[in-house]
Amino acid sequence: MAIKHDRNVPPAQRLRYSFEFFPPKSEDMADQLWKTVDELCLWDPDFVSVTYGAGGTTREPTLSTVRRLIAETPLRTASHLTCVGATKEEVHQVVEQFRAVGVNHFVALRGDPQDGMGTAYQPHPGGYANAAELVAGLRELGDFEISVSAYPEKHPESPDEAADIDMLKRKVDNGACRALTQFFFDNDVFERYLERVRAAGISIPIVPGIMPIQNLNQLKRFASMCGATIPGFLDKRFAGLDEQPQARAEVAAEVAAEQIADLSARGIADFHLYTMNRSALVNATLRNLGLEPKGRRSEGTGAAA
């Protein structure tokens, strides 16, 4: 099954995008986050999401961030939720905490092993064993919007691609309505993945995760842990720019915009941007696509608030 190519529709008339943030760990990081939120509000995203540490390690910072986003901005806000290191009852308590502040959209994830990426995952006794079970549990608790993860290059713990897609199908069968992918940089890889997903009878939107490159060397280290491939062309694009931050940022925005434009030409309309709590590259990427801000600023989320 081939992806429909529609090269006659300008991206500005058809793109939808969402943004991902993470809870800040310090006052300076909080200032950076809320400055970013204030600026990215102008793009009127479809929704934004806030990450949640394995085992609830960022539960309170995530809850605080989500509460403020809902109270002080016009942004539709989703919270990530994991089941690592928690019983079902503990997960249910967390869900109720987030529901109480207005959350009705969860990004349901198993989460990284408590001992860190690359270590063996052990389900908590009495807890949800995986994201598919977590989705089913959320569906029993309420009529939530539920997004899940997807892996164009296979989750590093999956034995093969078939098992990986089978897990995605289980999540969908249990009530997931959208999948947000791990970042990738080879659009042919994504297209082949989407063909396999559709052949498996999975019809929900598979939203590409786009990572504007803040630091290529750091990204390579992270990619090696999560199973993502960094194509050689990126080394060529960033060659000689280590001491030229402005030129490096311009190339990063060009690369991200080119990736989105190519996926759009292949028939993809929805994109999930990993902001790293910084707005400059996201702004430049969207402007490179010919887009212009269309929303309004948040109320009281600036660094001085």
> For the chain, which residues make up each domain, given as ranges?
11-288
On the question of pLDDT at 6 being above 50, the answer is no
Extract the tokens encoding 35: 């400055």
Nearest to 185 by CA among 211, 154, 216, 217: 211
Averaged pLDDT for residues 272-290: 97
Mean pLDDT score of the chain: 89
Q: Please tell me the predicted confidence (pLDDT) of residue 228.
A: 93
Rounded CA-CA distance 170/151 in Å is: 14
* Residue matched to tokens 């989703």: 78
Q: Please tell me the predicted confidence (pLDDT) of residue 188.
A: 97
Please tell me the distance from the alpha carbon of residue 167 to that of residue 150, in angstroms, as a whole number: 9
Which of 51-60, 80-89, 111-120 is the least confident region?
111-120
Task: Give the gyration radius of the chain's Cα atoms.
Answer: 19
**This prediction's pTM:** 0.90
28-72 residue pLDDT tens: 999 999 999 999 999 999 999 999 976 656 789 999 999 999 999
194, 206 Cβ separation under 8 angstroms: yes
Kindly report the number of other CB atoms within 10 A of residue 66's CB atom. Answer: 25
Question: Measured between alpha carbons, how far is 249 from 232 in angstroms, rounded to an integer?
Answer: 18
Q: What is the CATH number of domain 11-288?
A: 3.20.20.220
Give catalytic residue positions: 20
219-to-101, 180, 290 alpha-carbon distances in Å: 34, 19, 27
Please name the residues in contact with 288: beta carbons below 8 A apart, sequence gap of 6 or more: 253, 254, 256, 257
**SS3 state of residue 100:** helix
Least Cα distance to 264 among 283, 238, 288, 236 occurs for 288
**pLDDT 10s digits, 213-229:** 999 999 999 998 888 99
